[in-house]
Structure 1
Amino acid sequence: MYTAFVIGNIASGKSCATRYLEQRGALRIDLDAMAKDLYVPGSQLVLDIAERFGYDVLAPDGGIDTRELSRVAFATPEDSADLNALVHPVLIEQLSLRLLPPLCCTVTAPDPELVVVEVSVASAFTDAFGLADEIIAITAPLDVRRERAIERGMDGLAFDERASCQPSEEGLCALAQVVIDNTAGDDSLFSSLDQWLADRHLLSAQEVTQ
């Protein structure tokens, strides 16, 4: 099993990249979705988040209102760091269970050829990079990403708040072994991913050239 972490700032195209690789046959893990699954009503994590960000972040069922949490937790880099400090240890533990082979010899688990993990907050997740065989950065300039986000319906100020909590493109790319430029936002992204698969002999030739 080959594991690649795909990193990228908001509206860079990392979700598009991981979904494309999933279509090619990879197992895709979205860390944002995995984190939301951790917000179990009554859990210690939910209680810790509510104590730090206020009980308004609680949903009617006792879980987390992710929209409200995003609003308050991405207000400043300090707030984002505090949220990451609460969520990431639990998230890394769960991700390790998905990626590492079971300790018990009687337990069987799927062994996909390629696993791609979509990582939204790369700079705060570097302590988990040892779980990956390779880190791929999807990059695009800030102004291009802002325009894309607004075209998709995101408020410009909300984008600015989120972007201010993320690393520069240069800093992001420095975390990766492979950098794919998605400034164009066209099929060249898929061509680059196909070439990456071919260079590493991942997935069958038929899957890659479809």
Structure 2
Amino acid sequence: MFTVFVLGNIASGKSTACRYFESRGAMLIDLDELAKSLYVPGSDIVNALADEFGWDILDEEGGIRRSILASRAFASPDSVARLNGIVHPVLIEQLSLRILDPVCCTVSSPRYPFAVVEVSAPTGFEDAFGLADEILVISAPLSVRRERAIQRGMVPSDFDARSACQPDESALCNLATTVIDNSAADNSLFEQLDSWLACHGFIDTPDKEEADA
């Protein structure tokens, strides 16, 4: 299955782009949600996180208190790296199971035309990029993203702390096969996404749609 990893820093519009791809028929995999699904009480990964970030990140049932884990794991680039070192190997294995076609003696049509993997924290996850056919970055300047986040109710200091743990825009864009500019607050994001979809044959081009009509 054709697989595109979608990257973007906080308030870039990455999640909006991923949901739009899903509405266009993609299988959407949110890596954050996939990682959370691995946090099974008593599992090796949960025990390793507790050893690293403190056993008080666990609730009475042995599950992860996500807000406490996040406050510690995203406190600095070093703590993010420690979190990634625990979670990423298992995450990559589970992601592979979802997007790689099974080896079998019969050929069947995939349910989805393509897969979209939403990657919120690409730093340290580069080992998984070989699973992608394309890396797409949704980009916007830091000042634009900060203003958006604050307008949505995020505390400025929280944005600054989260942003400090993310790559700068130029470094992020250097990872990309394709960069989508989402600086403007208009429909240009969706127009660019439609162009990408049409170029890959996942939707008809506007000219063809008009001709068919």
What TM-score range do you get, normalising by the shorter chain? over 0.9
- Counterpart-to-counterpart distance in 2, 1:106 and 1:45: 36
Tell me how far 1:110 sits from its aligned partner: 4.5
Contact 1:3–1:134 (Cα < 8 Å) also in 2:
yes
Equivalent in the alignment of 1:132? 132
Deviations 1:85-137 (A, max 9, x none): 10000000000000112245589894421111000111221110111110000
Equivalent in the alignment of 2:57? 57
Deviations 1:50-95 (A, max 9, x none): 1100112112321111111111111111000000110000000000
Contact 1:123–1:172 (Cα < 8 Å) also in 2:
no
- Counterpart-to-counterpart distance in 2, 1:109 and 1:40: 33
Q: 1:122 is paired with a residue of what secondary structure? A: coil
Tell me how far 1:19 sits from its aligned partner: 0.1
Q: 2:123 is paired with a residue of what secondary structure? A: helix
> Given the two structures, how large is their TM-score scaled by the length of structure 2?
0.92
- Say yes or no: does 1:12 pair with 2:17: no
Check 1:127–1:109 CA distance in 2 against 1; reply closer, same or farther (3 A cut).
Answer: farther
Moved more, 56-65 or 7-16: 56-65
Contact 1:144–1:183 (Cα < 8 Å) also in 2:
yes
Structure 2: any 5+ residue segments left out of the alignment? none
Equivalent in the alignment of 1:45? 45
Equivalent in the alignment of 1:118? 118
Amino acid at match of 1:190: F
Please give the root-mean-square deviation of Cα atoms over the aligned residues, in Å. 2.1
Task: State the structure with more CA Rg.
Answer: 2
Contact 1:31–1:119 (Cα < 8 Å) also in 2:
yes
Moved more, 59-68 or 191-200: 59-68
How many residues are paired up?
A: 209
- Counterpart-to-counterpart distance in 2, 1:132 and 1:18: 15
Contact 1:113–1:203 (Cα < 8 Å) also in 2:
no
- Counterpart-to-counterpart distance in 2, 1:76 and 1:157: 14
> Given the two structures, how large is their TM-score scaled by the length of structure 1?
0.93
Q: 2:4 is paired with a residue of what secondary structure? A: strand
Equivalent in the alignment of 2:152? 152
Tell me how far 1:143 sits from its aligned partner: 1.1
Percentage of pairs with the same residue? 58
Check 1:113–1:161 CA distance in 2 against 1; reply closer, same or farther (3 A cut).
Answer: same
- Counterpart-to-counterpart distance in 1, 2:111 and 2:67: 34
- Counterpart-to-counterpart distance in 2, 1:5 and 1:124: 14
Once the two structures are superposed, the pairs formed by residues 92-103 of structure 1 within 5 Å of their partners are 92-103=92-103
- Counterpart-to-counterpart distance in 1, 2:101 and 2:95: 12
